[in-house]
Structure 1
């Protein structure tokens, strides 16, 4: 077949085969890969099934099959963002179920046990509306004592916020199904880790107003034969130090963890009994991640004296071996630039990997030969040679920003196999703002970005000050400066591309979800550069977020803006809602009606204010969606709706679907 002829058309007028239909029909979410003997397990989020999350098991024979039966959804809402909803031990799965209760009753957040070949069986009681409900996450199985040990979150009717604890759920005997509290008294807990001999339990804890990437404390306690805890003591952390992912060595002699005490999230260790903490290696790279969800893993033991680690250096992910005796790091040559969920034994490793040319994938690595294979891709679209010519590859960029500093991002130029722009034409630009705001842009192939670039629209994915991957000092730039530093960096990035002739300043827009939606609205209200934008479940009233949001984030704004209500005036100054008179550009809003993080009333107040002044504004409310959209039809509608809004109101390109 001969190639299609190249058509000359202005940027933004290109037709593309990367449609929203194609994206939602094939794309799934992949996360939380694990090893259980010779079997590999992972979690799939399926927009085509209403956003249901399903466990998949691949055995030694290479055959992969669903382990989660219809009617179950492997998800937890601990900390609202969840993660770590399941664990597996010797073929038996233990998971949290997130499905509506029968006949409109309370939702089912119970723990279930699912033996091989059997149906799931609940191991915790049904929710009692009068007594409240337990939610569960981040568990592991104590085979000796027949316990599930993990994080429990108890929601009591009439109380503003739940209580969090390290809990145990007996799996059989007279107390089976009850919830026993092992550690409490702190606002938040995560990462319970049982020593190999079962005698000690380590965990992380932190308190308001800190978030886990600001300050956490590593604890360890003795665990008696009956499962009772005693002698709890702090080993590291506190005083502005963030600890991440404690893990015991196979012989229990070392407790390894990630600490940012050096200014970077680097690997450290101690004996787990109160001995000194020592660094394993020192590198200007990040071996940790912000704990927005449970179940994160950036490293694993690949033998008694060797770690397999993922780390971010220069904004891109890498994988390597660390020798615990010498601290030497040996990089592994792989095509992946975004690596997470690392699990290993002394023979095999599995992880979630992606790159600018590869969608997120579940990858298995032979540790002896370093040969790797993809077990599952989030989408096979990237493997279609007919579409490869329409993919734009991420280009890391650095650019000057306010205060003589440097900020970072990923730039995606327009790309098409059958279109070219006239000489001298300059493309429209979509500036994409990641959520968090303590998070980072991913270099993994993102069809949502290719949707724009294949139509002749450039994209800048900004890693503004406050993003992770560049050390603690860069992360701390956002301290008390949310709505300032992020806006300055977004504008600076767009201006940098315009100055190089890579973007049309008159057709540059800004878009983001959650905290990224706030930055988009703040940029439109407090700066005149962008021609318009979109907010996907974004914050418009910072004070309302401080008053109304869930426990996990309820004091996050103390760090981002200042204590509330003491700094109420500063909150008002930073809230786009109260400066709608300054927002004179077209903007469209997308919102879920069950969002507990950014309630719909925040978005609707902003929409009403803009409509009252006759501003071009769009608003789409999705029924049954929470913070982030999981249903295929809604993902598709948001993507197409944003393009259509820009095409009509800003780009003036017509509908290039």
Structure 2
């Protein structure tokens, strides 16, 4: 429960009990209080115990958290409390997703040993935590929203209970080593070929009694939530050719393999008729500016079954910088990506250092380095694709939304890699963002940026004179996160420099566009802007271009 009555900007967070009786109008009964945040209150089958996660500022839950178990008194109060994980100051971990089995055993996910979120079990008798299965894979993800369900129990008390779970596995095996001497650079450094087989999510069956683990073959390459049913389970997922969907998976009697897979809900039911236009993502690993270090991305080559590009022309590239910034690109079907690839563009979704899905060490690359590591990785990804002969070095563009918009603007202000950029409600002023931050993320930016000097030095709005290429900006006028004046300031500065620039402002839009006509208009005008100024080709669609200031000077 968040109580905003005393201090709306800093609400009091508790775990509370409410009556389910419509006749009981008493106020909620507070069971737990005193910490900054609580999540996953879970009562065991006997209703004698409750598990929960709690954490405190300046940490986010994926930085450091604690798992507790409390015992109910006869009055329903939580009395005896035991810290199960996260309480040892010598161990940095972020436990999450506690669940009680039907036998009353407590399972949870944490990253205490390998730095990857794996499944653990608490032995109540000995008060010892035991790892159920060890794998360098992520069995959970950063808790940006409540209610994440990465695993579920199958079976009952009379059977060997199994756990069905989703996990993100990085299996980058080097089948072929390709040397960059073919391109005349980095002659002493091998690189990895692009692959469609890696960076995927899988669904597995774990028998926690025997320790056996097996993979279930499903047509999803990214899985986000799992819930169990009688003899089956439901999964939320997607793939490179399937939109976000919910599917029912039926298992055999021994619960060892799937016998039926059926989609019960799809975000785009008529998608199959467009399959011939889809570009399939290739998972790629590329070198960063740190010697021996690599980052990851999903590369989409241009593809349209009715057209073939010229053999002597490399395609333009659009680099997308995801938001969060502790989020990730997942290589699933995204029609906004296909909009570009079906019209001759190459597209790459970058999972720069700090992205989720690759373990704690990878996530922590961004601590104190936001605006540096992400910027370097996005530029390195683009230049890598140029070096490997995939795209045109003279037609590199970048785009991003919110935190991704910050990375985009920072790339354009502090680097010379890209020829044009597009910012959608992008953060230009880190100090302004910090001042208006809500409780959940109040210290998040401090962890990512660091000191006051870095706040200033990494904010593109403070260095508008450094922009050297065309930029188009899209901004909601009711945005409570990024004030519209940030976009206006950058627009005016670029205009005064004589560079091509355009600003599109939407009445009634907040942080993230909601109206379909605005989303469509934004996508189309990005295409027109890049095509006219960088791509130098005529867009096939009948789109009326908006005014671009200083457009004549670019011709």
TM-score, length-normalised on structure 2? Answer: 0.86
- The equivalent residue for 1:398 is 285
- The equivalent residue for 1:310 is 166
Instruction: Write the distance in 2 (CA, Å) between the matches of 1:532 and 1:177.
Output: 59
**Deviation digits for residues 554-587 of structure 1 (CA, Å, limit 9, x no counterpart):** 211222111xxxx211111111111111112112
Paired residue secondary structure (2:259): coil
Paired residue secondary structure (1:549): coil
**Deviation digits for residues 336-376 of structure 1 (CA, Å, limit 9, x no counterpart):** 11011110134110011111111111110002243110112
Deviation at 1:230, TM superposition (A): 2.0
Gap change, CA 1:223 and 1:516, over 3 Å in 2: same
Deviation at 1:393, TM superposition (A): 0.3
5 Å-filtered alignment, 1:451-490, equals 451-490=339-378
Deviation at 1:599, TM superposition (A): 3.6
Deviation at 1:241, TM superposition (A): 0.9
Instruction: Write the distance in 2 (CA, Å) between the matches of 1:624 and 1:227.
Output: 47
Instruction: Write the distance in 2 (CA, Å) between the matches of 1:537 and 1:605.
Output: 13
Instruction: Write the distance in 2 (CA, Å) between the matches of 1:561 and 1:475.
Output: 14
- The equivalent residue for 1:24 is none
**Deviation digits for residues 300-339 of structure 1 (CA, Å, limit 9, x no counterpart):** 1112421000000012100010111132210011121101
- The equivalent residue for 1:167 is 16
**Deviation digits for residues 82-131 of structure 1 (CA, Å, limit 9, x no counterpart):** xxxxxxxxxxxxxxxxxxxxxxxxxxxxxxxxxxxxxxxxxxxxxxxxxx
Q: Where do 5+ consecutive residues of structure 1 fail to align?
A: 1-151
**Deviation digits for residues 140-160 of structure 1 (CA, Å, limit 9, x no counterpart):** xxxxxxxxxxxx122236653
- The equivalent residue for 1:73 is none
Match 2:423 to one of 535, 539, 553: 535
- The equivalent residue for 1:205 is 54
Which structure has more relative contact order (CA 8 Å, sep 6+)? It is 1
Instruction: Write the distance in 1 (CA, Å) between the matches of 2:479 and 2:439.
Output: 14
Gap change, CA 1:572 and 1:458, over 3 Å in 2: same
Instruction: Write the distance in 2 (CA, Å) between the matches of 1:590 and 1:224.
Output: 56
5 Å-filtered alignment, 1:353-368, equals 353-368=237-252
Instruction: Write the distance in 2 (CA, Å) between the matches of 1:329 and 1:483.
Output: 40
Match 2:414 to one of 515, 526, 535: 526
Match 1:220 to one of 60, 69, 72: 69
Deviation at 1:233, TM superposition (A): 3.1
Bigger mean CA offset, 630-639 vs 360-369: 630-639
Gap change, CA 1:428 and 1:159, over 3 Å in 2: same
**Deviation digits for residues 606-639 of structure 1 (CA, Å, limit 9, x no counterpart):** 3344344344332233333333223222221221
**Deviation digits for residues 24-63 of structure 1 (CA, Å, limit 9, x no counterpart):** xxxxxxxxxxxxxxxxxxxxxxxxxxxxxxxxxxxxxxxx
Gap change, CA 1:215 and 1:602, over 3 Å in 2: farther
Paired residue secondary structure (1:393): coil
- The equivalent residue for 1:322 is 206
Match 1:370 to one of 259, 274, 299: 259
5 Å-filtered alignment, 1:420-569, equals 420-562=308-450, 567-569=451-453
Instruction: Write the distance in 1 (CA, Å) between the matches of 2:29 and 2:514.
Output: 33
Q: Is the Cα–Cα contact under 8 Å of residues 213 and 291 in structure 1 kept in the other structure?
A: yes
Q: Is the Cα–Cα contact under 8 Å of residues 169 and 176 in structure 1 kept in the other structure?
A: no
Instruction: Write the distance in 2 (CA, Å) between the matches of 1:515 and 1:242.
Output: 23
- The equivalent residue for 1:101 is none
TM-score, length-normalised on structure 1? Answer: 0.73
Instruction: Write the distance in 2 (CA, Å) between the matches of 1:633 and 1:272.
Output: 56
Q: Where do 5+ consecutive residues of structure 2 fail to align?
A: 171-198, 253-257, 542-555
Bigger mean CA offset, 588-597 vs 638-647: 588-597
Deviation at 1:174, TM superposition (A): 5.3
Q: Is the Cα–Cα contact under 8 Å of residues 109 and 139 in structure 2 kept in the other structure?
A: no
Say if 2:153 is the partner of 1:265.
no
Deviation at 1:171, TM superposition (A): 1.9
Paired residue secondary structure (1:588): strand
- The equivalent residue for 2:96 is 244
Instruction: Write the distance in 1 (CA, Å) between the matches of 2:147 and 2:516.
Output: 25
Instruction: Write the distance in 1 (CA, Å) between the matches of 2:360 and 2:330.
Output: 19
Q: Is the Cα–Cα contact under 8 Å of residues 96 and 108 in structure 2 kept in the other structure?
A: no
Deviation at 1:603, TM superposition (A): 3.4
Gap change, CA 1:256 and 1:425, over 3 Å in 2: same
Bigger mean CA offset, 273-282 vs 297-306: 273-282
Say if 2:275 is the partner of 1:388.
yes
Deviation at 1:264, TM superposition (A): 0.7
5 Å-filtered alignment, 1:37-436, equals 152-156=1-5, 159-172=8-21, 175-176=24-25, 178-238=27-87, 239=89, 240-271=92-123, 275-304=127-156, 305-314=161-170, 315-368=199-252, 369-384=258-273, 387-404=274-291, 405-436=293-324
Paired residue secondary structure (1:635): helix
Provide the alpha-carbon RMSD of the alignment. 1.9
Paired residue secondary structure (1:419): coil
Deviation at 1:601, TM superposition (A): 3.9
